[in-house]
Amino acid sequence: MIKNDLFLRALKGETVERPPVWMMRQAGRYLPDFMKLKEKYDFFTRCRTPELAAEITTMPIEQVGTDAAILFSDILVVPQAMNVEIEMKPGVGPFLPNPVRSPLDVNDIIVPDVYEELGYVYDAIKLTKERLNDEVPLIGFAGSPWTILCYLVQGQGSKNFDKAKEFCFKRPDAAQVLLQKITDTTIAYLKGKVKAGVDAIQIFDSWGGLLSPTDYQTYSWKYIQQIIDALKDEIPVIAYGKGCWFALKEMSQSGAAALGVDWTCSAINARYLSGGQITLQGNFDPSRLYSTPQEIKKMTTQMIDEFGKDRYIANLGHGILPDIPVRNAQAFVDAVKEYKPR
Amino acid sequence: MIKNDLFLRALKGETVERPPVWMMRQAGRYLPDFMKLKEKYDFFTRCRTPELAAEITTMPIEQVGTDAAILFSDILVVPQAMNVEIEMKPGVGPFLPNPVRSPLDVNDIIVPDVYEELGYVYDAIKLTKERLNDEVPLIGFAGSPWTILCYLVQGQGSKNFDKAKEFCFKRPDAAQVLLQKITDTTIAYLKGKVKAGVDAIQIFDSWGGLLSPTDYQTYSWKYIQQIIDALKDEIPVIAYGKGCWFALKEMSQSGAAALGVDWTCSAINARYLSGGQITLQGNFDPSRLYSTPQEIKKMTTQMIDEFGKDRYIANLGHGILPDIPVRNAQAFVDAVKEYKPR
């Protein structure tokens, strides 16, 4: 039994005293203790060393007091396991020396034995669960197949992932083969996470909002739905799609336990578009954490007023930015914890 | 009298035989003749030399047959005139050696005499009008004050313009002073364009979609509304906000003649959100021009079916990409011209 089960109760749609709160990328660079480990170990070493991953994962629980932990890892460990070389370049982000650019490249992508290739993730989950000692739930995650494809084809981060979209529109058949390989791997990977002990799963579709509603169905949602179908009877799944306001209705009927929304979709729009019943998660603009702690508290309270305290998980609308002062993140978390319904 | 007045009639909401068509960035790198001039003259030389600007502006009219011309220029000529040094770095885009980062920097920004600083734009308009010989209308444009601020503060293009947003949330008063200076300059600049002979104005809010609906009102829309108010009795104004679906209702009540939408907002959503009466412009995903000409024609026809032929201007949802084959752009334009209402 998890002692602080606010997050899990919100996922079930139960009435709660106040909304639970966590922050995307909460185990990240805004924490001084994270920066100390960052200086000593490179990115993928931190991901691959269960002791480090567990230590980083629990930092925000101990230091800012969020109501859920999310495993320190990266969406790109999945394509790494699929035979793709991926580096994390300081100041640049993900970089692929050999991006996928042709149907032949797609042939080289394998669907791996996840227990063999990603065992370190499962070890990290088990160790983290021990360290958390049932205080708060642990979230596991994966990128959406479309978002993974974006990196595989583009070869690095991008404003519009034009090369990824070019590949899909020029080579739709190869794109579908690639997306299915990623989907199959992701399902196996996440089933392993469930076995290892996570309490919920979040799927990050960070780049779904680059697609038109029609193309979103074809290149992104179809595959996310497969993942949800494969997991929903075992564990609550949160589907987060940045910029995917246009798909909220379909997403709400998918079997997902909750939907993540970004700050461009107001609470009233999100409730309306998702049909009003499903639990929503979001949507504080991460840049808004540059405001004063006092302003942050005021805006956070207003956000909860707008979403309502039930069927709601307070979060940012995307990952926390690296140079946010800890006291500002703390103001956000505290405002949720101090929330009194009007 | 302009011979092909389809575009102007669509802006007035009149019944037309078929929708007019033009493409954002239609005078751009996908045209081989543009590339020849690009090799000889740097970016701002092309903007500042009326003969070159006029030649480039008329290229897509002669070569792909769009129903409107848009002056070859850049949104950043406005801040250049405001005492800001801006370079266009090949392969990088705009670059500011001294970005605006403090209230003191804002003090250094001037509201210039636009006729003195931007006379070359007006000369280009006059020359272009001569060359166009009243065949099609000429569109003048400006960036929205928020979008200009994004570049001034960030110092270059960006995925999320985090430094620009940081500036606004840390220094809201200085941000408002800067936005008002940009607004005042833009109004004077566009009034000069009207005098010089443009037939319509488009305001590009390329980065409005990075803001929450509330912050959009505060940092972007408030200033666009000032610009529309100052111009709407003289000339039709098109307000284009990338990612600004959430503001379409307010935008539809602003006095703008038309609203530009991107491809993430379907025709049915755009009509619903904008109240159903105002002329809409858009919204083909520019990456979709990587498809085959046959596919492009099919999807373009479907787009018009969805928007309807009246109160509609066929366009892309953002600028055309540099490496699109001319025949693909041609397929898009032809599909609109061949459109037969069902």
Shortest Cα–Cα distance, B61 to chain A (Å): 26
Could you tell me the CA-to-CA distances from A51 to A114, A126, A139, B245 in Å, in that order?
20, 10, 17, 45
The string of DSSP codes covering A172-211 is HHHHHHHHHHHHHHHHHHHHHHHHHT-SEEEEEETTGGGS
In tens, the pLDDT along B289-303 reads 999 999 999 999 999
Nearest Cβ partner for B264 among A212, A263, A285: A212
- Among B325, B233, B313, CA closest to B281: B313
In tens, the pLDDT along B216-234 reads 999 999 999 999 999 999 9
Predicted pLDDT at A55: 97
Partners of residue B290 in chain A, C-beta under 8 Å: 165-166, 169-170
A180 band by pLDDT with thresholds 50, 70 and 90: very high
In tens, the pLDDT along B153-185 reads 999 999 899 999 999 999 999 999 999 999 999
What letter would DSSP give residue B290? Answer: G
Q: Which is more confident, A92 or A332? A: A332
Q: According to the annotation, is B317 in a ligand binding site?
A: no
Q: Which amino acid is at A335?
A: A
d(CA B75, CA B147): 9
Interface test with B, best of A30, A290, A328 (most B CBs within 10 A): A290
The token pair at B41 is: 């003259």
Shortest Cα–Cα distance, B135 to chain A (Å): 34
d(CA A336, CA A328): 13
> Number of structural domains, chain B?
1
Q: What is the dihedral of CA B29, B283, B63, B39, to 10 degrees?
A: -10
Q: Which is more confident, A234 or A92? A: A234
In contact, B304 and B314? CB cutoff 8 Å: yes
- List residues in chain B touching A: CB distance below 8 A: 157-160, 162, 165-166, 169-170, 209, 211-215, 243, 245-246, 263-266, 269, 285, 287-288, 290-291, 321
Reply yes or no on whether the pLDDT at A79 is more than 80.
yes
- Among A229, A230, A58, CA closest to A136: A58
- Among A28, A26, A23, A31, CA closest to A325: A31
Mean pLDDT of A29-54: 96
Q: According to the annotation, is A29 in a ligand binding site?
A: yes
Q: Do A266 and B212 touch (CB under 8 A)?
A: yes
Mean pLDDT of A119-146: 98
Q: According to the annotation, is A206 in a ligand binding site?
A: yes
Q: Which amino acid is at A179?
A: L
Q: According to the annotation, is A25 in a ligand binding site?
A: yes
Reply yes or no on whether the pLDDT at A12 is more than 90.
yes
Angle formed at CA A169 by CA B328 and CA A162, multiple of 5 degrees: 90
CATH number at residue B154: 3.20.20.210
d(CA A7, CA A13): 10
d(CA A78, CA A198): 17
d(CA A136, CA B64): 61
Shortest Cα–Cα distance, A58 to chain B (Å): 27
Could you tell me the CA-to-CA distances from A146 to A26, A168, A179, B99 in Å, in that order?
24, 10, 7, 35
Ranges of chain B with pLDDT below 70: none
Describe the strand order of the beta sheet including A200-205 as a list of residue ranges.
Answer: A69-70, A138-143, A200-205, A237-241, A258-260, A279-284, A312-316
Reply yes or no on whether the pLDDT at A113 is more than 90.
yes
d(CA B20, CA B6): 5
B285 burial class (0-12, 13-18, 19+ CB within 10 angstroms)?
A: buried
Q: Which helix (H) or strand (E) holds B146?
A: helix B145-154
Could you tell me the CA-to-CA distances from B325 to B91, B156, B169, B236, B329 in Å, in that order?
20, 28, 42, 32, 7
By DSSP bridging, strand B93-95 and strand B138-143 are: unpaired
Q: According to the annotation, is A252 in a ligand binding site?
A: no
For residue B324, the chain A residue with the least C-alpha distance is: A166
Describe the strand order of the beta sheet including B138-143 as a list of residue ranges.
Answer: B69-70, B138-143, B200-205, B237-241, B258-260, B279-284, B312-316
Predicted pLDDT at A37: 96
In contact, B58 and B131? CB cutoff 8 Å: yes
Predicted pLDDT at A91: 82
What letter would DSSP give residue A22? Answer: -
In tens, the pLDDT along A315-330 reads 999 999 999 999 999 9
CB pairs under 8 A between A and B: 73
Question: Tokens 């284009």 appear where?
Answer: B240
Predicted pLDDT at B264: 98
Percent of chain A having pLDDT more than 70?
100
Shortest Cα–Cα distance, A213 to chain B (Å): 6
Region label for B13, one of left (φ > 0), alpha (ψ between -120 and 50) or beta (otherwise): left
Could you tell me the CA-to-CA distances from B292 to B289, B295, B299, B325, B332 in Å, in that order?
8, 5, 11, 10, 11
On the CB side of A238, CA atoms within 13 Å amount to: 29
Interface test with A, best of B264, B266, B299 (most A CBs within 10 A): B264
Classify the C-alpha dihedral A291-A297-A301-A304 as positive or negative: positive
Predicted pLDDT at B342: 76
In tens, the pLDDT along A225-256 reads 999 999 999 999 999 999 999 999 999 999 99
Q: Which amino acid is at B180?
A: Q
Predicted pLDDT at A342: 75
Nearest Cβ partner for B246 among A211, A215, A266: A266
The token pair at B104 is: 């003191």
Interface test with A, best of B153, B290, B305 (most A CBs within 10 A): B290
Predicted pLDDT at A92: 86
Domain residue limits at A165: 5-338
